Amino acid sequence: MTEKLDGKQFTVLVIMNTLGASIIFIPSIATNYGKENGWITLIFSTILGVFIILLYNQIIKKLNGKEFFSTIDILFGKWLGAIIIMLLTCYIFINTFANLWAISDFISLQILMGTPFEVISLIIALTVLIAIRYGIEVIGRTAQLFFPFTMLCALLLTLLVIKDADFSNITPIFQLNKSATIVGTLPIVSVTFLELVILLAITDNVNNIQSARKGFLVGGFTSGLILLVITLACITVLGVQGTANYAYPIYALGQRISIFDFVERVEIIVAFIWFFTIFIKLCVSFYVFTNGISHLLKLKNYKTLSVPLALFIFLASILSVPNTFASFAFINGAYIVLSVTAGLILPLIILGVLLIKKRVF
């Protein structure tokens, strides 16, 4: 029986995947580039992200409910199709172990100090493994279940710190650092909207093509709006230097919450938001990764390789990223090239061939 997602579930998956790890890193990245204009960088990024999603929606329209990897084989032939799928799966692999490292590093440094990083990473990897073996439909339902709580925490975080906001921190508006403000859209789009190419592989599970296209657009725009509000809150409360210097500025924002000097240090709200967004992102990425590898190896069931691939992802997460500074250097350098290649160039090629061979479909 084919697993199915409805339009609302797919929209939630788009939001969760866009926020993912970016919700905790983006304010710092945007402010490092645009300084007081960091929030404007998010506006430009969201606009660019909408155009990227429109590209993906055209691919969904041409796919017409067909399976993504199988369609690539039909379009490009056995060998060239395999190369393209391999490139995409390599990108998804990097994305998956990098996100696993990010959440494990955060927990080991900020919450469970003293707990070995490897133990945390292994527990999360095993949890994701269990989740994907239940299938994408269960992942979609889980995301839909926890989505309201995640958004409520984000809303509370913003409302509880607004009294400390100093809007002079965002002035002068777009008078200085103009070029850096625009250039900052590249790393932001790379870790948000370009990563949505991964979701193209599950659009055949959405019960209505139009719902998938609408979900992509609504989910992407909503995510951009959430990141904009959070970045604006970080800059106005923490200041430009504070936001730029903190590795996890949104977590520092949560530490500022104080209600009548009685309810304080409720930054666990931030952790709650990130746990669910990045967990769902990990589940979807790993699900697509296992499906891609299974397709390349002509296996009928993706679950066959799920256990060894989960261990492979775990090993990559503990061996490939030495520290937080290396991760930021990667995001602002090589990862931009990887994301543009996998999230923009390859989809443009696929859409171009789909248009040329439209008779086949």
Element (H, E) at 50: helix 38-63
Residue 350 lies in a domain: no
Residue 358 lies in a domain: no
Closest CA to 61 of 358, 310, 333: 358
Q: Is the peptide bond before 308 cis (omega within 30 degrees of 0)?
A: no
**Whole-Å CA distances, 45 to 26, 52, 191, 250, 276:** 11, 10, 11, 19, 23
Residue 354 lies in a domain: no
Cβ proximity of 190 and 337 under 8 Å: no
Residue 53: its pLDDT value, please?
95
Element (H, E) at 289: helix 268-296
| Range of the structural domain that residue 313 is part of | 7-345
Q: How many other CB atoms sit within 10 Å of the CB of residue 149?
A: 12
> Does this model's pTM top 0.85?
yes
The Cα 76–Cα 33 span in angstroms is 40
What six digits make up the tokens of 229?
A: 């509000």
Residue 261: its pLDDT value, please?
65
Exposure of 141 by Cβ count < 10 A (0-12 exposed, 13-18 middle, 19+ buried)?
middle
For the domain that residue 154 is a member of, what is the CATH number? 1.20.1740.10
Provide the number of structural domains found in the chain: 1
Residue 1 lies in a domain: no
Residue 219: its pLDDT value, please?
93
Residue 308: its pLDDT value, please?
93
Q: Is the peptide bond before 172 cis (omega within 30 degrees of 0)?
A: yes
What six digits make up the tokens of 315?
A: 């090993």
| Tally of helices (H runs) and strands (E runs) in the chain | 16, 2
Residue 353 lies in a domain: no
Residue 311: its pLDDT value, please?
93
Q: How many other CB atoms sit within 10 Å of the CB of residue 130?
A: 11
Residue 359 lies in a domain: no
Q: How many other CB atoms sit within 10 Å of the CB of residue 300?
A: 7
Residue 291: its pLDDT value, please?
93
What six digits make up the tokens of 76?
A: 């490009």
Residue 228 lies in a domain: yes
Q: Compute φ and ψ for 266, nearest 5 degrees.
A: -105, 35
Residue 355 lies in a domain: no
pLDDT along the chain (361 residues), means of 10: 81 91 85 87 93 94 88 89 93 92 85 85 94 91 89 82 82 80 90 92 89 92 92 88 82 74 67 84 94 91 90 90 77 88 93 78 51
Q: Which residues of 89-98 are buried (b: 16+ CB within 10 A; e: fewer)?
A: bebbbbbbbb
